[in-house]
């Protein structure tokens, strides 16, 4: 994504706008997106199982009474982490404009790119879910982002977390301060591990990219996942 193509815009809503609202006659489209989200959760479930975790979930009563993450991860029967899954679908803004476009007319135009708001919203809402079940941070908090949008990249997550344009490539322009120092300024550090998957054209997922949210838990998280610390990126110091 080019720097000029992305414009920063911060959403001030306390929570994400409901993604699956059937009230406007779009049941088919939203049901399809809901199915995709369910598939993503199954992909993440299998990923953690392949890593040797027992994967459980909260009871219906617990989910009714408070906001909860998607999964509880266990090792040898002992709870070790909570995991929330967030999905980013393909941005359909232009496709919707094209759908009913009369012949010989042009559509499109400039607008704020939604990628950074999506990431910020995902972190914000996940942090609330973790806080509701893990207020003393007794267990690790893992946020898995499953990305279907080919215009979004792993480095966008790093930019939102750090406040810099592309710190992994040595570019430390302070372009994303409204996100990194906004409502997620404290919340982002409560998430111990960020995992980013891209969904490829054939429906398979890419290898995961990892970003650690807190240097204090880096060694413990890497030990739990049985991965080399050198393979995991520390969250760059915030701008």
What domain range includes position 143? 27-100+116-234
Does residue 96 lie in a domain region? yes
Percent of the chain exceeding pLDDT 90 equals 50
| Structure confidence at residue 91 (pLDDT) | 54
Element (H, E) at 187: helix 184-187
Element (H, E) at 80: strand 78-88
Read off the pLDDT of each residue in 214-230 and give the average, rounded to a whole number: 90
Read off the pLDDT band of 66 (50, 70, 90): confident
Strands 71-75 and 233-234: unpaired
pLDDT averaged over every residue in the chain? 79
Residue in the block written with tokens 């939604």? 114
| Structure confidence at residue 64 (pLDDT) | 78
Angle between helix axes 115-133 and 154-162 (nearest 10 degrees) is 70
Does residue 199 lie in a domain region? yes
Does residue 72 lie in a domain region? yes
Q: What is the pLDDT of residues 17-40, one digit of tens each?
A: 334 333 344 344 333 444 455 888
Does residue 9 lie in a domain region? no
| Structure confidence at residue 70 (pLDDT) | 94
Separation CA 204–CA 90 (nearest Å):
15
Does residue 145 lie in a domain region? yes
User: Structure pTM?
Assistant: 0.77
Read off the pLDDT band of 155 (50, 70, 90): very high
| Structure confidence at residue 187 (pLDDT) | 95
The total of structural domains in the chain comes to 1
Read off the pLDDT of each residue in 156-181 and give the average, rounded to a whole number: 91
């Amino acid at each position: 994504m080019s720097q000029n193509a992305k414009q920063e815009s911060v959403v001030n809503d306390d929570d994400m706008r409901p993604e699956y609202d059937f009230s406007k006659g779009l049941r088919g489209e939203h049901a399809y997106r809901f199915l995709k989200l369910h598939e993503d959760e199954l992909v993440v479930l299998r990923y953690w199982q392949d890593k040797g975790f027992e994967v459980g979930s909260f009871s219906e009563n617990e989910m009714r009474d408070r906001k909860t993450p998607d999964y509880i991860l266990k090792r040898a029967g002992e709870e070790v982490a909570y995991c929330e899954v967030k999905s980013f679908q393909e941005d359909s803004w232009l496709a919707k404009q094209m759908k009913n476009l009369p012949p010989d007319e042009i559509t499109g135009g400039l607008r704020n790119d939604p990628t950074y708001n999506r990431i910020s919203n995902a972190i914000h809402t996940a942090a609330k879910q973790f806080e509701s079940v893990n207020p003393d941070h007794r267990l690790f908090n893992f946020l898995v982002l499953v990305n279907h949008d080919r215009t979004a990249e792993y480095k966008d997550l790093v930019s939102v977390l750090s406040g810099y344009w592309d710190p992994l490539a040595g570019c430390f322009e302070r372009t994303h301060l409204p996100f990194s120092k906004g409502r997620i300024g404290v919340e982002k550090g409560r998430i111990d591990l960020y995992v980013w998957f891209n969904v490829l054209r054939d429906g398979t997922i890419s290898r995961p990219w990892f970003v650690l949210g807190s240097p204090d838990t880096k060694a413990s998280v890497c030990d739990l996942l049985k991965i080399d610390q050198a393979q995991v990126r520390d969250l760059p110091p915030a701008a």
